[in-house]
Chain A
Amino acid sequence: MSTINMQQLKKSYEDTQVIHGIDIDIVDGEFIVLVGPSGCGKSTLLRMVAGLESISDGEVKIDDKVVNKLEPKDRGIAMVFQNYALYPHMTVYQNMAYGLKLMKLPKEEIVQRVQEVAELLQIEQFLERRPSNLSGGQRQRVAMGRAIVRKPKVFLFDEPLSNLDAKLRVQMRMQIKTLQRNLGVTTLYVTHDQVEAMTMADRLVVLKDGIAAQIGTPMEIYDDPHNQFVAGFIGSPAMNFIDCTISDEVIDIGGQKMPRPTDVTQRGSVVLGIRPEHFINTADQPAIQGQVDMIEKVGASVFLYVKCDHIEELIVIQREGHSQVQIGELVPINPNLNKLYFFDKNTQQRLY
């Protein structure tokens, strides 16, 4: 049961700075997901909290105690690694008991704790096996077991599901979330998968180039992205970005005009963002039309990739699953005018 505070956390390697001052306050029992494209510094940040990377500047506090200089073992953390990092020459039991043995716990307590956690994770029958005789999902559970037996104040997960196949990943995603809720342990979780991030997080931290681009609950970030990067990163398929000019009457997209919602006060050249799911499937408004270039069927819905005159990128439109649109067909492009986003062309900050 504990809190984590990061204050102006910075990390530099020689003369390149990779983390540029991050402030996050995490409350007790919260599930925080650090998400971002590769190279954004999310793993580095996690490893700084773990104590595996030194902290160049700023502070990390766990339970209001500065841990900058503490060894990982003294921080009250447990970590699950991407490649599980199980000791290959030890059995599952030994893997889980190793940390406890080093804590100098009495033998009976070690046995009891490992047994409990093994039952919780349903890996009792593997206790005597070596990791090499386990499947990916089982190894994943052992790695989590090793973290849980330590009874840490904080769980750290470093892309723990990226080596699993899609179906197992969804299963484990739910298991981890449920487990975390039941144990009530404060958790930092790193992933590059935005679906994982959305589904698991209490709050998300979207990182870009070592800066927290936005911090908030998944729905806050989805509904109200602060800038073009966050808008494009969260949501699948990604938001459409279209260059346009707003005048007093209309939004001008490459010569084709759309009515201006009355509450949009900006004028001039901006980037218009529309999510694929925010198009209306009717032809009654004066619409821009486009030709369907490619179709992706995912079952529940269909994504149309539409080529419009004067717009460079293909626009992605979501339709319901049994939509009978064919390639080459002309479709109207009718965005829901209440769900438009506008971004500054230069700063990429959200304007409206």
Chain B
Amino acid sequence: MVENRPMTTFISHSVLIIGVALIVFPIWIMLVASSHDALRLTQVPLPLLPGDQFWENIKLLFSSKTFGAPIHLSLLNSLAMAMMISLGKISISVISAFAIVYFKFRFRMFFFWMIFVTLMLPVEVRILPTYEVVASLGMLDSYLGLSVPLIASATATFMFRQTFLTISDELMEASRIDGASPMRFFFDVVIPMSRTNIAALFVILFIYGWNQYLWPLLITTDPDMYTVVMSIKQMLESGESEPMWHMIMLTALFAMLPPVLVVVFMQKIFVKGLTDSEK
């Protein structure tokens, strides 16, 4: 649709600008708040321009142990959890989609629908039984406990199934004639041909894993296992004392950074994976 009406342009731009402002303003406040000292943030009005305490605050944040877990440890925990969840989800769903698409076995569709039904059972719904299982397996306060219950993914399986269905059967036949076993075909043809989809999914799943809150909160009791998202919450509830807003905002900033980096660096491949169907 190519139109050139000043009024339409004006309205659509205004809507977009308002939308962007709504998203950007809190981030700006976060940036500003993280660059002032604790005292300034307790006074009204709140500052709208950055202060000069940014580096000082960073030093303080990384040196102090007063906020439960050290920040770099909780960042590392978050990273480990997000990586294990996203990589685990991808490897399990890619192989189950491969089984469902390329092998004819008894009850194939039954299993497919079984997987599909788990979409209705996110961790929040099954949280008590899952906790029970994880506890009995002795996986509380461990990376495995943090990630394994979140790994099975119907969405990813379904998405890979759709991708594989677009790979022509002739390719499978050609590789059979070339002498490739099913697993060779999987690694030599299917995986390389789905790599943009895998990357796109990685971005989504990484952010999903990074942002987990409820589950880590439940199964970690050792402050050394806290994830960064949890630490922010912990800092807000630091007993009797005033919340340290500048530290909280700085932690939030660090918590936002990895997902942002993942999106920025994988954006090109991400968009390609979601839209490109050149097979």
State the A residues within 8 Å of B (CB).
50-52, 71-73, 77-79, 81-89, 98-99, 102-103, 132, 146, 150
Which 7 residue pairs spanning A and B have beta carbons closest together? A73-B179, A99-B178, A85-B170, A85-B174, A102-B179, A89-B192, A81-B170
A-B contact pairs, 27 of them (CB 8 A): A50-B177, A52-B173, A71-B179, A72-B179, A73-B179, A79-B173, A79-B177, A83-B168, A83-B170, A84-B170, A85-B168, A85-B170, A87-B174, A87-B188, A87-B189, A88-B279, A89-B189, A89-B192, A89-B193, A98-B175, A98-B178, A98-B180, A98-B188, A102-B179, A102-B184, A103-B179, A146-B178
Q: Give the nearest-CB partner of B170 in chain A.
A: A85
State the B residues within 8 Å of A (CB).
168, 170-171, 173-180, 184, 188-189, 192-193, 278-279
Q: Give the nearest-CB partner of A98 in chain B.
A: B178
Residues of A within 8 A of B184 (CB): 102
Q: Assess whether B176 is in contact with A52, with CB atoms less than 8 Å apart.
A: yes
Q: How far is the CB of A11 from chain B (nearest CB, A)?
A: 16
Q: Assess whether A99 is in contact with B170, with CB atoms less than 8 Å apart.
A: no
Q: Give the complex CA separation of A249 and B279 in angstroms.
A: 67
Count, A-B residue pairs, CB within 8 A? 61
Q: Assess whether A72 is in contact with B176, with CB atoms less than 8 Å apart.
A: yes
Residues of A within 8 A of B189 (CB): 87, 89
Q: Give the nearest-CB partner of A99 in chain B.
A: B178
Known: A85-B170, A89-B193. A78 touches B177 (CB 8 A): yes
Q: Give the complex CA separation of A71 and B168 in angstroms.
A: 20
Given contacts A83-B168, A85-B170, A88-B193, 10 further A-B contacts (CB under 8 A): A51-B176, A52-B173, A72-B173, A77-B177, A87-B174, A87-B188, A89-B192, A89-B193, A102-B178, A103-B179
Q: How far is the CB of A90 from chain B (nearest CB, A)?
A: 8
Q: Which secondary structure dominates chain A's binding surface?
A: loop
Contact of B180 among A81, A89, A102, A150 (CB under 8 A): A102
Q: Give the complex CA separation of A73 and B175 in angstroms.
A: 9
Residues of A within 8 A of B175 (CB): 87, 98
Residues of B within 8 A of A79 (CB): 173-174, 177
Q: Give the nearest-CB partner of B194 in chain A.
A: A89
Q: Give the complex CA separation of A79 and B189 in angstroms.
A: 18
Known: A87-B189, A88-B193. A81 touches B179 (CB 8 A): no
Contact of B177 among A73, A83, A86, A88 (CB under 8 A): A73
Residues of B within 8 A of A82 (CB): 170
Contact of A132 among B173, B192, B278 (CB under 8 A): B278
B168, B170, B193 — most chain A CB neighbours (10 Å): B170
